[in-house]
Amino acid sequence: MTNQKTETKALHSGYRADPSTGSVAVPIYQTTSYQFQDTDHAARLFELSELGNIYTRIMNPTNDVLEKRLADMEGGVAALAVASGQAASLYSIQNIARAGDNFVCSSHIYGGTFNLFKNTFKDMGIEARFVDPRDPENFRKATDDNTRAYYAETYPNPSFEVFPIGEVASIGLEYGVPLIMDNTAAPVICKPFDHGAAITMYSTTKYLGGHGNSIGGIIIDSGKFDWEAHQKRFPSLREPDSGYHGAVWIEAAKPLGPIAYILKARVTLLRDAGAAMSPFNAFLFLQGVETVALRMERHCENAMAVAAYLNSHPKVEKVIHPSAQEGEIKRRADTYLGGNYGGLMGVELKGGKEAGQAFINKLKMFYHVANIGDSKSLAIHPATTTHAQLNNEELLKAGVTPGFVRLSIGIEHIDDIIADLDQALGN
Ligand code: PLP
């Protein structure tokens, strides 16, 4: 990790001019495979006594820069780029949980993650125990000897209640359970490792890419979780891996640094299941990452102005944004988002579902899409789209009411954003 600030790391970490050409832009290494120097070299790479490029399903020099850059920005030691945010969520759990195991998960999560955890993991014999994140003690209550991880989103929509990262990470440390944070909605403005999280993951599709052109994900290892001290809980890191010449990941990683978790994810899960990020997408994400700090500033500033505008509008029932929160929920937003409240918010219009849908249909500049974190402003009606797979009880638990509209406030001029909202509200 370097001592530079995040904005500087976003431009420089992990790369300094291509040694053979001098290229300042990170080259796109659009190759499947890499010439070995000789058979000894190839053998050393395969047995992991030397780290190097073998095959792009497992590693690639363009992806490597993205991984190093985001790991450094996050305050971690290593990262693994994958094909989507979904693949990142899947691998982050699958890397340490087997059939018969469980993990405890905040009920305030993205609908796609909820489906993956509730249904696909169930089919694999891994149980997701969903708990209300408002009370951190719920994580303790759901923990038993087979609990392998805690999982949550920093700034979940549609509740927009910031997760108690430090409180839950501390409970996890008592039991030797690592906290995995999906920080997709709060890059730069929240650093989960500073508050005790062990692993972060991102859908790079959103703010990190920032331009709505590529699907990707990344898992970042803080290097701080002591897998060895808690090895009783992690047979997959402690026992010889029959899929890799009997490697014991806690031991195999020792000469390479505190990277047992991310090393195993790369050379077993990514090798076997193959959800690799395309090098071209890694290049596009690198372009996005260069400006993510600047963009986040504008997203947050614009969202504050939109929240103030909507709050005083007669057709608005409620604005769901940290600036409108109180008490412990607000305190968490202040603690973990450092005074910035992110670019996402919810608005509940008077008139329920019909009013919400009519509002979306009248928007002219906002795009009506199933996405967040684009530079452009976006809107959607979650109950009939992103969260449509949830039953009524699950919807309420996730904080989705019928008239709820989710807004992802972009970096356009604030006057134009408010003008579009204003005309769609019928003024
Ligand atoms: N995590 C969050 C918070 C998301 O909003 C999303 C997608 O919307 C994902 C994960 C999944 O990411 P992807 O669409 O890149 O698979």
pLDDT at 1: 58
Residue 1 lies in a domain: no
63 and 167, same domain (yes or no):
yes
User: Residue 231 Cα, ligand 1 centroid: separation in angstroms?
Assistant: 30
What's 48's domain CATH number?
3.40.640.10
* Domain limit, last residue, from 258, 280, 302: 280
Residue 285 lies in a domain: no
151 and 299, same domain (yes or no):
no
259 and 299, same domain (yes or no):
no
> Contact, 217 vs 82, CB < 8 A?
yes
Residue 366 lies in a domain: yes
pLDDT at 3: 87
Residue 287 lies in a domain: no
Is residue 212 in contact with ligand 1, taking CB distance under 6 Å? no
Name the residue at shortest CA distance from atom 5 of ligand 1. 110
What's 327's domain CATH number?
3.90.1150.10
Is residue 110 in contact with ligand 1, taking CB distance under 6 Å? yes
Is residue 86 in contact with ligand 1, taking CB distance under 6 Å? yes
Q: Domain residues for 138? A: 6-280
Residue 27 lies in a domain: yes
For each of the chain's 427 residues, which pLDDT tens digit applies?
Answer: 568 999 999 999 999 999 999 999 999 999 999 999 999 999 999 988 898 999 999 999 999 999 999 999 999 999 999 999 999 999 999 999 999 999 999 999 998 999 999 999 999 999 999 999 999 999 999 999 999 999 999 999 888 999 999 999 999 999 999 999 999 999 999 999 999 999 999 999 999 999 999 999 999 999 999 999 999 999 999 999 998 989 999 999 999 999 999 999 999 999 999 999 999 999 999 999 999 999 999 999 999 999 999 999 999 999 999 999 999 999 999 999 988 899 999 999 998 888 988 999 999 999 999 999 999 999 998 877 877 777 777 777 667 787 899 999 999 999 999 999 999 998 6
Residue 85 lies in a domain: yes
Token pair, residue 51, equals 């780290």
Best CA proximity match to 305, nearest among 223, 245, 377, 239: 377
Is residue 176 in contact with ligand 1, taking CB distance under 6 Å? no
User: Residue 132 Cα, ligand 1 centroid: separation in angstroms?
Assistant: 20
300 and 241, same domain (yes or no):
no
Residue 286 lies in a domain: no
* Domain limit, last residue, from 246, 280, 314: 280
255 and 357, same domain (yes or no):
no
135 and 45, same domain (yes or no):
yes
Residue 245 lies in a domain: yes
In the sheet where 344-349 sits, what is the strand order? Answer: 316-320, 344-349, 404-408, 378-380, 367-368
Which of 89, 182, 206, 281 best tests ligand 1's pocket when mutated (most atoms within 8 Å of CB)? Answer: 206
Is residue 74 in contact with ligand 1, taking CB distance under 6 Å? no
Is residue 205 in contact with ligand 1, taking CB distance under 6 Å? yes
Q: Which atom of ligand 1 is nearest to the CA of 89?
A: 10
**Whole-angstrom distance, CA of residue 132 vs CA of residue 156:** 12
User: Residue 184 Cα, ligand 1 centroid: separation in angstroms?
Assistant: 7
User: Residue 328 Cα, ligand 1 centroid: separation in angstroms?
Assistant: 27
Is residue 374 in contact with ligand 1, taking CB distance under 6 Å? no
Q: Which atom of ligand 1 is nearest to the CA of 109?
A: 3
255 and 301, same domain (yes or no):
no
* Domain limit, last residue, from 280, 303, 326: 280
141 and 190, same domain (yes or no):
yes
357 and 418, same domain (yes or no):
yes
Alpha-carbon separation of residue 161 from 107, 148, 308 (angstroms): 12, 25, 18
**Whole-angstrom distance, CA of residue 68 vs CA of residue 51:** 14
128 and 231, same domain (yes or no):
yes
163 and 265, same domain (yes or no):
yes
User: Residue 110 Cα, ligand 1 centroid: separation in angstroms?
Assistant: 7
Name the residue at shortest CA distance from atom 8 of ligand 1. 371
Number of domains in the chain: 2
pLDDT at 210: 98
316 and 220, same domain (yes or no):
no
**Whole-angstrom distance, CA of residue 201 vs CA of residue 49:** 27
User: Residue 146 Cα, ligand 1 centroid: separation in angstroms?
Assistant: 27
Is residue 217 in contact with ligand 1, taking CB distance under 6 Å? yes
